[in-house]
Structure 1
Amino acid sequence: MALSEQTFVADAPPAWVSILRMLWRDKFAFCAAVFLLVVILCALFGPTLLEDIATKQNLRGRNAAPFDFSLHWTMWLGGDALGRPLFARIIVAARNTMFIATGAVICSMAIGTTLGLIAGYSSRMASQIIMRLADVIMSFPSLLLAVIVLYMLAPSVGNLIVVLAITRIPVYLRTSRAEVLEVRERMFVQAAQVMGASTNRIVFRHILPVVFPTLVTIATLDFAFVMLAESSLSFLGIGIQPPEITWGLMVSQGRPYLTTAWWLSFWPGLAIILTTLSLNLLSNWMRTALDPVQRWRLETPRQKNA
């Protein structure tokens, strides 16, 4: 019996191989992951490779139509009102768009999860104070609060991250608190208490790993929401300001030319839509993959037979 168990462990594939197999099982999630990987690579290396081309003006290519290969190869998606190639600008703009969304999600997730763990495992008074703080934040519409704050402050990348992070804290706070209230009653937590484990060890070693998969799934969906919020603020003119660019700002800059050069807003808008759609598809896959009860739906026949 011991030999068969050792053989099974030896034949078990690495964790990342199992994850790739489950991802390949869901073709929509796999395509979404590939697209998001391309977007991340564009955000990391695009400005280094194409920033000079993205800012170089060519008045001969003003509002150039897409798929006109008589101009530079970077103009295959067309040119903007100053003759700058849309293809290069979309790739360069990916960095600011993804950086703002990533920073806001990480900050809101870290703060909200910490407060939620405290509210779910601490005294009733501390829980009530934290939850009332969340109610105050949620009483203001998130986009309206961002508009008011950014109207008073300079519309910089840092201010955008702070404002968007504050508006999303209650999502993680309420979710983590609800999960902690349920997990703290399980037998393994009570066993850790009986064995004299400290509060920090119980919360961060035993409770947080159980709550974390749910928060990761929410963060994936929230990433799409934050990216749309940033695009909306840039479209309204209170987000990132030129010469910095984001996809939302590019849509706003193309608005006056919708009747004559629709592609100025179409291509960056399409990038926003595809990225948001990919995040939602990947979030649905993660919700199933991280659930032990539903994970069998994504497992290959080879894995199930094992």
Structure 2
Amino acid sequence: MTATAPSTPPAPAATADHGLIAWLDSAAPASRWQAACGQMWWRWRLLVANRLALLGLVIVLGLLAVALLAPWLAPHPPLAGDLSLRLQPPSSTYWLGTDDQGRDILSRLIAGSRTTLYVVAVAAVLSAPLGVLIGAVSGYAGGWLDAVLMRLTDIFLAFPRLILALAFVAALGPGLDNAVIAIAITAWPPYARLARAESLALRRSDFIAASRLLGASHTRLVLGHVLPLCLPSVLIRVTLDMAGMILAAAGLGFLGLGAQPPLPEWGAMIAAGRQFLLGAWWVAAAPGAAIFIVSLGFNLLGDGLRDALDPRAQQRG
């Protein structure tokens, strides 16, 4: 009998994490799902490799965490005041001091993060889909419909956003919900312009022509093909636009047209503290710093997303 060669011992099993990363990094994906997951993993690594973008992501996630946990994070009731404690400087009891009503500024900042997040989230949800739909239809249809929709967009773009928002709030009346509506009405034109540019480049592409020959309707082409391809650019624009929405909301609150007292809102807090800038600078400085940090975080994250989602970026190998 001939001796058989000993069988090769099996390789040690890879850990779950290593196996998942190898699956994501595969150069020859076995399915569309694996290819899509691998592409998202590669984009995520590009994003976190950018330190400034990672800092922006940390700031934005911090805002979300503070807004969600505001009732438990606030050391004092944000609406309760004590005139005997008015304009107290920062101390171990009141970390950021108190305002002219004796209310803890840190607690009001934490509670005001919910107001800020509500304004930008609802305004983005209302304005971005509207602008993208108008721009996609305009770019895909062309002709007189494109001309009418773009001239309407030009009318809105002709006015500064804050001035136009002031006009809408003056017509609707002061209040948080009306401020959100005004910001959303003035924020959609850039999304329409962006979606129109993407649609103009896509409507003459080969896959659109092939889908049309297969009997796809115009509605299906716009909703199923054009709009999904506009989403990366729109996502970047929304992230970058959040800072402008925060400043617009703060501007309306500063003028008394946004959130009404005693609801804590960062712009209104700055307005209340402007008369104490020389003797109690912390009353206006704390909400001003919060607006600056959060706006910076959204801008840094938007720049990082622009680099990570850029279709002209070098493809992974």
TM over 0.5: yes
Q: Distance in 2 between matches of 1:22 and 1:31?
A: 14
Aligned-residue offset at 1:51: 9.2
Identity of aligned residues (%): 34
CA-to-aligned-CA distance 1:227-267 (integer Å, 9 cap, x gap): 10111111122222101121111111111100011111111
State yes or no: 1:86 paired with 2:105: yes
**Equivalent position of 1:206 in the other structure:** 225
Q: Distance in 1 between matches of 2:174 and 2:75?
A: 22
Pair 237,51 (structure 1): closer, same or farther in 2 beyond 3 Å:
farther
**Equivalent position of 1:157 in the other structure:** 176
Q: Distance in 2 between matches of 1:104 and 1:7?
A: 40
- Mapping for residues 219-298 of structure 1, pairs under 5 Å: 219-294=238-313
Aligned-residue offset at 1:155: 1.3
**Equivalent position of 2:70 in the other structure:** 46
Tell me which amino acid in the other structure corresponds to 1:249.
A
Aligned-residue offset at 1:148: 2.4
Q: TM-score under structure 2 normalisation?
A: 0.84
**Equivalent position of 1:177 in the other structure:** 196
Q: Is the 2:96–2:106 Cα contact (8 Å) retained in structure 1?
A: yes
| Partner SS for 1:240 | coil
CA-to-aligned-CA distance 1:6-44 (integer Å, 9 cap, x gap): 895489876665454333311111121111111012222
More deviation, 181-190/280-289 = 181-190
Q: Distance in 2 between matches of 1:215 and 1:282?
A: 14
Pair 119,261 (structure 1): closer, same or farther in 2 beyond 3 Å:
same
State yes or no: 1:96 paired with 2:115: yes
Pair 139,14 (structure 1): closer, same or farther in 2 beyond 3 Å:
closer
Equivalent position to 1:65, from 86, 89, 94? 89
Tell me which amino acid in the other structure corresponds to 1:131.
M
State yes or no: 1:56 paired with 2:80: yes
Q: Is the 2:236–2:306 Cα contact (8 Å) retained in structure 1?
A: yes
| Partner SS for 1:53 | coil
| Partner SS for 1:54 | coil
Q: Distance in 1 between matches of 2:142 and 2:311?
A: 32
Aligned-residue offset at 1:192: 1.2
Q: Is the 1:47–1:95 Cα contact (8 Å) retained in structure 2?
A: no
Q: Distance in 2 between matches of 1:248 and 1:295?
A: 42
Q: Distance in 1 between matches of 2:188 and 2:62?
A: 29
**Equivalent position of 2:4 in the other structure:** none
Q: Is the 1:240–1:249 Cα contact (8 Å) retained in structure 2?
A: yes
| RMSD, matched Cα | 2.5
Q: Distance in 2 between matches of 1:267 and 1:111?
A: 35
More deviation, 181-190/287-296 = 287-296
In the alignment, structure 1 segments of 5+ residues that lack a partner are 297-303
Tell me which amino acid in the other structure corresponds to 2:59.
F
Aligned-residue offset at 1:201: 1.8
Q: Distance in 2 between matches of 1:111 and 1:237?
A: 28
Aligned-residue offset at 1:85: 1.0
Tell me which amino acid in the other structure corresponds to 2:165.
A
**Equivalent position of 2:156 in the other structure:** 137
Aligned residues: 290
Pair 168,56 (structure 1): closer, same or farther in 2 beyond 3 Å:
same
Tell me which amino acid in the other structure corresponds to 1:220.
T
In the alignment, structure 2 segments of 5+ residues that lack a partner are 1-22
Pair 249,124 (structure 1): closer, same or farther in 2 beyond 3 Å:
same
Q: Distance in 2 between matches of 1:8 and 1:133?
A: 48
- Which structure features the higher share of helix residues? 1
